Amino acid sequence: MDELDTAAILPDVASTDEETNGSRGHKEEADVPLPTTRFVRPPWRCCRPVSVEPVLFLSMFSMALQAPLATQYLWDRISEDLGYNGSERSECSNGSVPPDPLQMEVQTMTAHWNLYINLGGFSVGLLVVPLLGSWSDLAGRRPVLIIPNLGLALQALVYLAVMYLKLPVVYFLVGKLLSGLSGDFNAILAACFAYVADTSDRRSRTFRVAILEACLGLSGMLASIIGGQWQKAQGYINPFWLVVATSLASALYAYLFVRESVLPDPSAKLLTSRHHKAVWHLFSTGGSTSEAGGRFHRYKLWLYVLCFFIVMTVHMGCRDMYVLYVLSSPLCWGPALIGYGSAAQNLDYLSSLLGLKIMQRCLEDSWVAVAGLASNIIGLVVFSVADTTQLMFTGYGLCFLFMAVTPVLRSKLSKLVGPSEQGVLFACVACVQSLCYLVGSGLFSSIYPATLHFMKGFPFLLAAIILFIPAGIIGTLQCLDQRREHRDSTTC
Protein backbone atom coordinates (compact mmCIF):
# COMPACT_ATOMS: atom_id res chain seq x y z
CA MET A 1 0.00 0.00 0.00
CA ASP A 2 1.47 3.37 -0.94
CA GLU A 3 1.71 6.44 1.28
CA LEU A 4 -1.40 8.02 -0.21
CA ASP A 5 -3.60 5.04 0.64
CA THR A 6 -2.17 4.82 4.13
CA ALA A 7 -2.88 8.47 4.80
CA ALA A 8 -6.39 8.12 3.45
CA ILE A 9 -7.41 5.49 5.98
CA LEU A 10 -6.11 7.35 9.01
CA PRO A 11 -8.44 9.86 10.72
CA ASP A 12 -7.98 13.57 10.13
CA VAL A 13 -7.30 14.45 13.73
CA ALA A 14 -4.89 16.69 15.59
CA SER A 15 -2.61 14.86 18.01
CA THR A 16 0.50 15.73 19.94
CA ASP A 17 3.86 14.27 19.05
CA GLU A 18 3.77 12.24 22.24
CA GLU A 19 0.48 10.62 21.31
CA THR A 20 1.49 10.04 17.72
CA ASN A 21 4.71 8.31 18.74
CA GLY A 22 2.72 6.05 21.06
CA SER A 23 -0.03 5.16 18.59
CA ARG A 24 -0.92 1.62 17.68
CA GLY A 25 0.52 1.94 14.21
CA HIS A 26 4.05 2.24 15.66
CA LYS A 27 3.46 -0.68 17.99
CA GLU A 28 2.48 -3.18 15.33
CA GLU A 29 5.09 -5.51 13.92
CA ALA A 30 6.57 -4.46 10.59
CA ASP A 31 5.62 -7.72 8.89
CA VAL A 32 1.90 -7.33 9.61
CA PRO A 33 0.17 -6.18 6.40
CA LEU A 34 -1.77 -2.97 6.55
CA PRO A 35 -5.53 -3.39 6.13
CA THR A 36 -7.25 -2.14 3.05
CA THR A 37 -9.42 0.95 3.13
CA ARG A 38 -12.64 -1.06 3.32
CA PHE A 39 -11.93 -1.78 6.98
CA VAL A 40 -11.88 1.84 8.08
CA ARG A 41 -13.84 3.96 5.61
CA PRO A 42 -17.61 4.22 5.95
CA PRO A 43 -19.47 3.38 2.75
CA TRP A 44 -20.84 6.95 2.57
CA ARG A 45 -18.12 9.59 2.52
CA CYS A 46 -19.34 12.79 4.18
CA CYS A 47 -17.77 16.02 2.92
CA ARG A 48 -17.64 17.44 6.47
CA PRO A 49 -15.90 15.93 9.48
CA VAL A 50 -18.31 14.03 11.73
CA SER A 51 -17.85 12.54 15.15
CA VAL A 52 -19.70 10.31 17.57
CA GLU A 53 -21.85 12.88 19.37
CA PRO A 54 -24.98 12.00 17.32
CA VAL A 55 -24.42 8.30 18.07
CA LEU A 56 -24.33 8.94 21.82
CA PHE A 57 -27.26 11.37 21.63
CA LEU A 58 -29.52 8.90 19.81
CA SER A 59 -28.47 5.95 21.98
CA MET A 60 -29.04 7.90 25.18
CA PHE A 61 -32.40 9.08 23.88
CA SER A 62 -33.36 5.46 23.28
CA MET A 63 -32.28 4.43 26.79
CA ALA A 64 -33.89 7.41 28.54
CA LEU A 65 -37.13 6.89 26.64
CA GLN A 66 -37.55 3.20 27.36
CA ALA A 67 -36.35 2.96 30.99
CA PRO A 68 -39.20 4.86 32.74
CA LEU A 69 -41.79 3.49 30.30
CA ALA A 70 -40.69 -0.07 31.04
CA THR A 71 -41.06 0.57 34.78
CA GLN A 72 -44.53 2.04 34.28
CA TYR A 73 -45.54 -0.91 32.11
CA LEU A 74 -44.33 -3.32 34.78
CA TRP A 75 -46.47 -1.41 37.33
CA ASP A 76 -49.55 -1.61 35.11
CA ARG A 77 -49.10 -5.31 34.24
CA ILE A 78 -48.47 -6.34 37.85
CA SER A 79 -51.44 -4.21 38.97
CA GLU A 80 -53.61 -5.94 36.37
CA ASP A 81 -52.41 -9.40 37.40
CA LEU A 82 -53.06 -8.69 41.11
CA GLY A 83 -56.37 -6.92 40.52
CA TYR A 84 -55.23 -3.55 41.80
CA ASN A 85 -57.20 -0.66 40.25
CA GLY A 86 -55.77 2.28 42.19
CA SER A 87 -53.91 5.10 40.47
CA GLU A 88 -50.89 7.03 41.55
CA ARG A 89 -51.71 10.38 43.10
CA SER A 90 -49.73 13.49 42.31
CA GLU A 91 -50.80 15.36 45.44
CA CYS A 92 -49.72 14.65 49.01
CA SER A 93 -51.34 11.59 50.44
CA ASN A 94 -53.44 11.86 53.58
CA GLY A 95 -51.34 10.62 56.45
CA SER A 96 -54.43 9.47 58.40
CA VAL A 97 -55.36 6.93 55.72
CA PRO A 98 -53.50 3.61 56.12
CA PRO A 99 -51.56 2.44 53.05
CA ASP A 100 -53.31 0.01 50.72
CA PRO A 101 -51.71 -3.46 51.21
CA LEU A 102 -52.35 -4.32 47.56
CA GLN A 103 -50.65 -1.15 46.41
CA MET A 104 -47.65 -1.95 48.62
CA GLU A 105 -47.48 -5.41 47.04
CA VAL A 106 -47.53 -3.88 43.55
CA GLN A 107 -44.76 -1.44 44.53
CA THR A 108 -42.66 -4.26 46.00
CA MET A 109 -43.03 -6.56 43.00
CA THR A 110 -42.29 -3.75 40.54
CA ALA A 111 -39.18 -2.78 42.51
CA HIS A 112 -38.05 -6.41 42.61
CA TRP A 113 -38.49 -6.93 38.87
CA ASN A 114 -36.58 -3.71 38.18
CA LEU A 115 -33.81 -4.99 40.42
CA TYR A 116 -33.71 -8.38 38.66
CA ILE A 117 -33.59 -6.74 35.23
CA ASN A 118 -30.84 -4.28 36.21
CA LEU A 119 -28.77 -6.95 37.96
CA GLY A 120 -29.11 -9.28 34.97
CA GLY A 121 -27.94 -6.62 32.55
CA PHE A 122 -25.11 -5.56 34.84
CA SER A 123 -23.86 -9.12 35.39
CA VAL A 124 -23.66 -9.89 31.67
CA GLY A 125 -22.24 -6.46 30.85
CA LEU A 126 -19.50 -6.88 33.45
CA LEU A 127 -18.08 -9.67 31.30
CA VAL A 128 -18.95 -8.40 27.82
CA VAL A 129 -18.18 -4.67 28.00
CA PRO A 130 -14.45 -5.01 28.93
CA LEU A 131 -14.19 -7.65 26.21
CA LEU A 132 -15.61 -5.28 23.58
CA GLY A 133 -13.61 -2.31 24.89
CA SER A 134 -10.28 -4.10 24.64
CA TRP A 135 -11.26 -5.58 21.26
CA SER A 136 -12.02 -2.09 19.94
CA ASP A 137 -8.38 -1.13 20.60
CA LEU A 138 -7.47 -3.74 17.98
CA ALA A 139 -10.46 -4.07 15.66
CA GLY A 140 -11.58 -0.43 15.68
CA ARG A 141 -14.29 1.63 17.37
CA ARG A 142 -17.00 1.47 14.71
CA PRO A 143 -18.07 -2.17 15.35
CA VAL A 144 -18.56 -1.35 19.04
CA LEU A 145 -20.68 1.63 18.07
CA ILE A 146 -22.90 -0.51 15.81
CA ILE A 147 -23.34 -3.88 17.55
CA PRO A 148 -24.68 -2.61 20.94
CA ASN A 149 -27.18 -0.34 19.18
CA LEU A 150 -28.53 -3.37 17.36
CA GLY A 151 -28.76 -5.09 20.74
CA LEU A 152 -30.76 -2.17 22.16
CA ALA A 153 -33.14 -2.41 19.19
CA LEU A 154 -33.51 -6.16 19.79
CA GLN A 155 -34.30 -5.52 23.46
CA ALA A 156 -37.03 -3.03 22.51
CA LEU A 157 -38.48 -5.56 20.03
CA VAL A 158 -38.67 -8.17 22.80
CA TYR A 159 -40.47 -5.62 25.00
CA LEU A 160 -42.90 -4.93 22.16
CA ALA A 161 -43.57 -8.65 21.81
CA VAL A 162 -44.40 -8.78 25.52
CA MET A 163 -46.83 -5.88 25.10
CA TYR A 164 -48.49 -7.18 21.94
CA LEU A 165 -48.85 -10.78 23.11
CA LYS A 166 -49.29 -10.12 26.86
CA LEU A 167 -46.33 -12.39 27.61
CA PRO A 168 -45.08 -12.85 31.20
CA VAL A 169 -42.92 -9.96 32.43
CA VAL A 170 -39.99 -12.35 32.84
CA TYR A 171 -39.37 -11.79 29.11
CA PHE A 172 -38.27 -8.25 30.01
CA LEU A 173 -35.31 -9.91 31.70
CA VAL A 174 -34.68 -11.97 28.56
CA GLY A 175 -34.62 -8.79 26.45
CA LYS A 176 -32.18 -7.15 28.86
CA LEU A 177 -29.87 -10.17 28.80
CA LEU A 178 -29.85 -10.16 24.98
CA SER A 179 -28.93 -6.49 25.01
CA GLY A 180 -26.26 -7.18 27.63
CA LEU A 181 -24.68 -9.83 25.42
CA SER A 182 -24.18 -7.17 22.74
CA GLY A 183 -22.63 -4.74 25.23
CA ASP A 184 -25.75 -2.69 26.05
CA PHE A 185 -25.48 1.08 26.43
CA ASN A 186 -22.24 0.85 28.45
CA ALA A 187 -20.33 -0.44 25.42
CA ILE A 188 -21.58 2.52 23.35
CA LEU A 189 -20.54 4.86 26.14
CA ALA A 190 -17.06 3.33 26.26
CA ALA A 191 -16.60 3.41 22.47
CA CYS A 192 -17.72 7.06 22.20
CA PHE A 193 -15.36 8.30 24.90
CA ALA A 194 -12.51 6.20 23.48
CA TYR A 195 -13.22 7.65 20.02
CA VAL A 196 -12.98 11.19 21.38
CA ALA A 197 -9.73 10.30 23.14
CA ASP A 198 -8.40 8.99 19.81
CA THR A 199 -9.37 12.09 17.85
CA SER A 200 -8.43 14.87 20.28
CA ASP A 201 -5.17 16.24 21.59
CA ARG A 202 -4.42 16.45 25.30
CA ARG A 203 -5.30 20.12 25.50
CA SER A 204 -8.79 19.89 24.00
CA ARG A 205 -9.75 16.48 25.34
CA THR A 206 -11.52 17.64 28.50
CA PHE A 207 -13.88 19.93 26.59
CA ARG A 208 -14.58 17.26 23.95
CA VAL A 209 -15.48 14.82 26.73
CA ALA A 210 -17.70 17.50 28.31
CA ILE A 211 -19.59 17.84 25.02
CA LEU A 212 -20.38 14.11 25.17
CA GLU A 213 -21.57 14.52 28.78
CA ALA A 214 -23.83 17.37 27.65
CA CYS A 215 -25.28 15.13 24.93
CA LEU A 216 -26.26 12.66 27.66
CA GLY A 217 -28.10 15.34 29.64
CA LEU A 218 -29.89 16.96 26.72
CA SER A 219 -31.05 13.71 25.15
CA GLY A 220 -32.23 12.49 28.54
CA MET A 221 -34.24 15.67 29.06
CA LEU A 222 -35.81 15.45 25.59
CA ALA A 223 -36.72 11.80 26.07
CA SER A 224 -38.29 12.51 29.47
CA ILE A 225 -40.47 15.26 28.02
CA ILE A 226 -41.59 13.24 24.99
CA GLY A 227 -42.00 9.87 26.70
CA GLY A 228 -44.34 10.90 29.51
CA GLN A 229 -46.72 12.90 27.32
CA TRP A 230 -46.75 10.33 24.53
CA GLN A 231 -47.49 7.46 26.90
CA LYS A 232 -50.46 9.35 28.34
CA ALA A 233 -51.82 10.03 24.86
CA GLN A 234 -51.20 6.72 23.05
CA GLY A 235 -49.96 4.12 25.53
CA TYR A 236 -46.72 2.15 25.44
CA ILE A 237 -46.56 0.61 21.97
CA ASN A 238 -45.77 3.65 19.81
CA PRO A 239 -43.05 5.08 22.11
CA PHE A 240 -41.27 1.72 22.04
CA TRP A 241 -41.32 1.71 18.25
CA LEU A 242 -39.51 5.04 18.48
CA VAL A 243 -36.94 3.33 20.74
CA VAL A 244 -36.37 0.74 18.00
CA ALA A 245 -36.09 3.47 15.35
CA THR A 246 -33.59 5.62 17.27
CA SER A 247 -31.39 2.62 18.10
CA LEU A 248 -31.30 1.56 14.45
CA ALA A 249 -30.70 5.18 13.36
CA SER A 250 -27.72 5.39 15.72
CA ALA A 251 -26.25 2.16 14.32
CA LEU A 252 -26.88 3.35 10.75
CA TYR A 253 -25.22 6.70 11.40
CA ALA A 254 -22.14 4.99 12.84
CA TYR A 255 -21.98 2.66 9.85
CA LEU A 256 -22.45 5.32 7.16
CA PHE A 257 -20.68 8.39 8.49
CA VAL A 258 -18.27 7.73 11.37
CA ARG A 259 -14.69 7.28 10.22
CA GLU A 260 -12.50 4.82 12.06
CA SER A 261 -10.16 6.41 14.62
CA VAL A 262 -7.63 3.56 14.95
CA LEU A 263 -5.91 1.38 12.38
CA PRO A 264 -7.83 -1.92 12.62
CA ASP A 265 -6.17 -5.31 12.73
CA PRO A 266 -8.33 -7.70 10.62
CA SER A 267 -6.93 -10.69 12.52
CA ALA A 268 -8.08 -9.40 15.93
CA LYS A 269 -10.24 -11.97 17.70
CA LEU A 270 -13.15 -11.07 19.96
CA LEU A 271 -13.47 -14.26 22.03
CA THR A 272 -10.06 -14.53 23.66
CA SER A 273 -8.77 -14.19 27.21
CA ARG A 274 -6.30 -11.57 26.00
CA HIS A 275 -8.90 -8.82 26.39
CA HIS A 276 -9.63 -9.55 30.05
CA LYS A 277 -5.88 -9.86 30.70
CA ALA A 278 -5.57 -6.34 29.26
CA VAL A 279 -7.90 -5.10 32.01
CA TRP A 280 -5.74 -6.76 34.68
CA HIS A 281 -2.55 -5.37 33.14
CA LEU A 282 -3.98 -1.87 33.00
CA PHE A 283 -4.84 -1.65 36.68
CA SER A 284 -2.06 -3.82 38.08
CA THR A 285 0.79 -2.02 36.32
CA GLY A 286 -0.76 1.35 35.45
CA GLY A 287 -0.73 0.70 31.71
CA SER A 288 1.93 1.04 29.04
CA THR A 289 2.83 4.62 30.07
CA SER A 290 3.44 3.82 33.75
CA GLU A 291 7.21 3.46 33.34
CA ALA A 292 7.57 7.22 33.00
CA GLY A 293 5.63 7.97 36.18
CA GLY A 294 6.51 4.92 38.26
CA ARG A 295 4.39 3.78 41.18
CA PHE A 296 2.83 7.24 41.58
CA HIS A 297 1.35 6.84 38.08
CA ARG A 298 -0.49 3.65 39.07
CA TYR A 299 -1.74 5.23 42.29
CA LYS A 300 -3.15 8.17 40.31
CA LEU A 301 -5.04 5.80 38.05
CA TRP A 302 -6.67 4.06 41.01
CA LEU A 303 -7.39 7.30 42.87
CA TYR A 304 -9.06 8.94 39.88
CA VAL A 305 -11.21 5.82 39.40
CA LEU A 306 -12.13 6.02 43.10
CA CYS A 307 -13.09 9.68 42.68
CA PHE A 308 -15.22 8.81 39.66
CA PHE A 309 -16.93 6.03 41.62
CA ILE A 310 -17.77 8.31 44.55
CA VAL A 311 -19.02 11.18 42.37
CA MET A 312 -21.19 8.96 40.18
CA THR A 313 -22.57 6.99 43.16
CA VAL A 314 -23.70 10.24 44.78
CA HIS A 315 -25.11 11.51 41.49
CA MET A 316 -27.03 8.30 40.72
CA GLY A 317 -28.29 7.89 44.27
CA CYS A 318 -29.50 11.46 44.65
CA ARG A 319 -31.18 11.41 41.24
CA ASP A 320 -33.62 8.78 42.52
CA MET A 321 -34.25 10.78 45.69
CA TYR A 322 -35.33 14.03 44.05
CA VAL A 323 -38.76 12.79 42.97
CA LEU A 324 -39.50 11.07 46.29
CA TYR A 325 -38.39 14.18 48.17
CA VAL A 326 -40.68 16.62 46.33
CA LEU A 327 -43.75 14.39 46.12
CA SER A 328 -44.42 14.39 49.86
CA SER A 329 -45.04 17.13 52.42
CA PRO A 330 -44.12 19.99 52.69
CA LEU A 331 -43.36 20.46 48.96
CA CYS A 332 -46.19 18.33 47.51
CA TRP A 333 -45.17 18.81 43.87
CA GLY A 334 -47.40 17.62 41.05
CA PRO A 335 -46.35 16.30 37.61
CA ALA A 336 -45.89 19.81 36.18
CA LEU A 337 -43.44 20.97 38.86
CA ILE A 338 -41.61 17.64 38.74
CA GLY A 339 -41.16 18.13 34.99
CA TYR A 340 -39.86 21.67 35.49
CA GLY A 341 -37.45 20.43 38.14
CA SER A 342 -36.16 17.69 35.83
CA ALA A 343 -35.68 20.24 33.04
CA ALA A 344 -33.79 22.58 35.41
CA GLN A 345 -31.57 19.71 36.51
CA ASN A 346 -30.76 18.71 32.94
CA LEU A 347 -30.03 22.32 31.97
CA ASP A 348 -27.14 22.11 34.43
CA TYR A 349 -25.39 19.97 31.81
CA LEU A 350 -25.25 23.00 29.51
CA SER A 351 -24.24 25.43 32.25
CA SER A 352 -21.50 23.00 33.33
CA LEU A 353 -20.21 22.81 29.75
CA LEU A 354 -20.15 26.60 29.44
CA GLY A 355 -18.58 27.04 32.88
CA LEU A 356 -15.89 24.48 32.12
CA LYS A 357 -14.97 26.22 28.88
CA ILE A 358 -14.68 29.61 30.63
CA MET A 359 -12.75 28.35 33.66
CA GLN A 360 -10.25 26.44 31.52
CA ARG A 361 -8.91 29.81 30.38
CA CYS A 362 -7.50 30.56 33.82
CA LEU A 363 -7.56 27.31 35.82
CA GLU A 364 -6.10 23.83 35.54
CA ASP A 365 -8.61 21.05 34.89
CA SER A 366 -8.25 19.73 38.45
CA TRP A 367 -9.30 23.06 39.95
CA VAL A 368 -12.26 23.16 37.56
CA ALA A 369 -13.32 19.77 38.96
CA VAL A 370 -12.95 21.05 42.53
CA ALA A 371 -15.12 24.06 41.64
CA GLY A 372 -17.72 21.69 40.19
CA LEU A 373 -17.70 19.63 43.39
CA ALA A 374 -18.09 22.81 45.46
CA SER A 375 -21.12 23.77 43.35
CA ASN A 376 -22.62 20.31 43.89
CA ILE A 377 -21.96 20.37 47.64
CA ILE A 378 -23.62 23.76 48.12
CA GLY A 379 -26.64 22.69 46.06
CA LEU A 380 -27.04 19.45 48.03
CA VAL A 381 -26.91 21.35 51.34
CA VAL A 382 -29.73 23.59 50.09
CA PHE A 383 -31.74 20.53 49.02
CA SER A 384 -31.34 19.02 52.49
CA VAL A 385 -33.21 21.93 54.10
CA ALA A 386 -35.52 22.89 51.22
CA ASP A 387 -39.12 23.23 52.42
CA THR A 388 -40.40 25.56 49.69
CA THR A 389 -40.50 25.40 45.90
CA GLN A 390 -38.35 28.53 45.65
CA LEU A 391 -35.63 26.99 47.80
CA MET A 392 -35.71 23.76 45.81
CA PHE A 393 -35.17 25.60 42.53
CA THR A 394 -32.41 27.63 44.22
CA GLY A 395 -30.66 24.32 44.84
CA TYR A 396 -30.98 23.40 41.17
CA GLY A 397 -29.45 26.75 40.27
CA LEU A 398 -26.53 26.37 42.68
CA CYS A 399 -25.66 23.02 41.07
CA PHE A 400 -24.92 24.79 37.78
CA LEU A 401 -21.38 23.31 37.65
CA PHE A 402 -22.05 19.84 39.05
CA MET A 403 -21.37 18.04 35.75
CA ALA A 404 -17.97 19.71 35.25
CA VAL A 405 -16.38 17.01 37.42
CA THR A 406 -16.84 13.82 35.41
CA PRO A 407 -15.41 15.17 32.10
CA VAL A 408 -12.26 16.18 33.96
CA LEU A 409 -11.95 12.76 35.60
CA ARG A 410 -12.49 10.93 32.30
CA SER A 411 -9.92 13.17 30.61
CA LYS A 412 -7.41 12.66 33.45
CA LEU A 413 -7.79 8.89 33.19
CA SER A 414 -7.46 9.00 29.40
CA LYS A 415 -4.18 10.91 29.63
CA LEU A 416 -2.72 8.33 32.04
CA VAL A 417 -2.88 5.45 29.52
CA GLY A 418 -1.54 4.93 26.04
CA PRO A 419 -3.49 5.29 22.77
CA SER A 420 -3.77 1.49 22.48
CA GLU A 421 -5.50 1.26 25.89
CA GLN A 422 -8.28 3.83 25.54
CA GLY A 423 -10.94 1.24 24.71
CA VAL A 424 -10.23 -1.03 27.67
CA LEU A 425 -9.97 1.97 30.00
CA PHE A 426 -13.34 3.48 29.07
CA ALA A 427 -14.96 0.04 29.07
CA CYS A 428 -13.89 -0.37 32.69
CA VAL A 429 -15.09 3.16 33.49
CA ALA A 430 -18.47 2.32 31.93
CA CYS A 431 -18.73 -0.79 34.12
CA VAL A 432 -17.86 1.30 37.17
CA GLN A 433 -20.60 3.76 36.18
CA SER A 434 -23.12 0.91 35.94
CA LEU A 435 -22.01 -0.32 39.37
CA CYS A 436 -22.47 3.21 40.71
CA TYR A 437 -26.12 3.10 39.68
CA LEU A 438 -26.72 -0.10 41.62
CA VAL A 439 -24.77 1.02 44.71
CA GLY A 440 -26.16 4.56 44.70
CA SER A 441 -29.77 3.49 44.26
CA GLY A 442 -29.53 0.80 46.92
CA LEU A 443 -27.65 2.96 49.42
CA PHE A 444 -29.72 6.12 49.24
CA SER A 445 -33.02 4.25 48.88
CA SER A 446 -32.21 2.56 52.18
CA ILE A 447 -31.02 5.70 53.97
CA TYR A 448 -34.01 7.85 52.97
CA PRO A 449 -36.79 5.94 54.81
CA ALA A 450 -34.50 5.21 57.77
CA THR A 451 -33.83 8.91 58.42
CA LEU A 452 -37.28 10.40 57.77
CA HIS A 453 -38.08 10.56 61.49
CA PHE A 454 -35.33 13.07 62.33
CA MET A 455 -34.34 14.81 59.04
CA LYS A 456 -36.05 14.31 55.71
CA GLY A 457 -33.17 15.79 53.68
CA PHE A 458 -30.42 13.85 55.48
CA PRO A 459 -29.44 11.79 52.36
CA PHE A 460 -28.61 15.06 50.52
CA LEU A 461 -26.55 16.30 53.48
CA LEU A 462 -24.70 12.97 53.65
CA ALA A 463 -24.04 13.16 49.90
CA ALA A 464 -22.57 16.66 50.32
CA ILE A 465 -20.22 15.40 53.05
CA ILE A 466 -19.12 12.42 50.94
CA LEU A 467 -18.17 14.71 48.03
CA PHE A 468 -15.42 16.28 50.16
CA ILE A 469 -13.47 13.03 49.66
CA PRO A 470 -12.98 13.33 45.85
CA ALA A 471 -12.44 17.10 46.21
CA GLY A 472 -9.57 16.44 48.62
CA ILE A 473 -8.07 13.69 46.44
CA ILE A 474 -8.20 15.73 43.21
CA GLY A 475 -6.77 18.84 44.89
CA THR A 476 -3.96 16.86 46.56
CA LEU A 477 -2.97 15.10 43.33
CA GLN A 478 -2.88 18.43 41.50
CA CYS A 479 -0.64 19.95 44.18
CA LEU A 480 1.70 16.93 43.99
CA ASP A 481 1.85 17.22 40.19
CA GLN A 482 2.68 20.92 40.40
CA ARG A 483 5.40 20.21 42.96
CA ARG A 484 6.91 17.50 40.74
CA GLU A 485 6.83 19.78 37.70
CA HIS A 486 8.49 22.57 39.68
CA ARG A 487 11.19 20.20 40.97
CA ASP A 488 11.87 18.85 37.47
CA SER A 489 12.12 22.33 35.98
CA THR A 490 14.46 23.42 38.74
CA THR A 491 16.66 20.36 38.19
CA CYS A 492 16.88 21.03 34.47
Output the CATH code of domain 290-492.
1.20.1250.20
Give the per-residue pLDDT at 484: 82
What kind of fold does domain 51-85+103-258 have according to CATH? Growth Hormone; Chain: A; (1.20.1250)
pLDDT at 89: 46
Res 386: pLDDT: 92
User: Is pLDDT of 315 > 70?
Assistant: yes
Q: Where are the domains of the chain?
A: 51-85+103-258, 290-492
- pLDDT bin (cut points 50, 70, 90) of residue 302 is very high
Evaluate the CA torsion angle 99, 102, 106, 109 in order and state its sign.
positive
pLDDT in tens, 462-483: 999 999 999 999 999 999 888 8
Hey, do 51-85+103-258 and 290-492 end up sharing a CATH topology, with the first three levels equal?
A: yes
| Residue 37 pLDDT | 34
Reported as a pLDDT band with limits 50, 70 and 90, residue 448 is: confident
pLDDT value at residue 28: 37
pTM: 0.81
Query: What is the rounded average pLDDT of the residues 229-242?
Result: 88
Which whole number is the average pLDDT over 339-351? 81
Of 61-70, 91-100, 160-169, 261-270, the poorest mean pLDDT is in 91-100
Instruction: Work out the percent of the chain whose per-residue pLDDT is above 90.
Output: 45
| Lowest-pLDDT range of 38-42, 161-165, 235-239, 240-244 | 38-42
Give the least confident one: 132-136, 324-328, 377-381.
324-328
Segment 231-260 shows an average pLDDT of 92
Check whether 323 has a pLDDT greater than 90. Answer: no
Average pLDDT over all residues of the chain: 82
Would you state the pLDDT for residue 99? 60
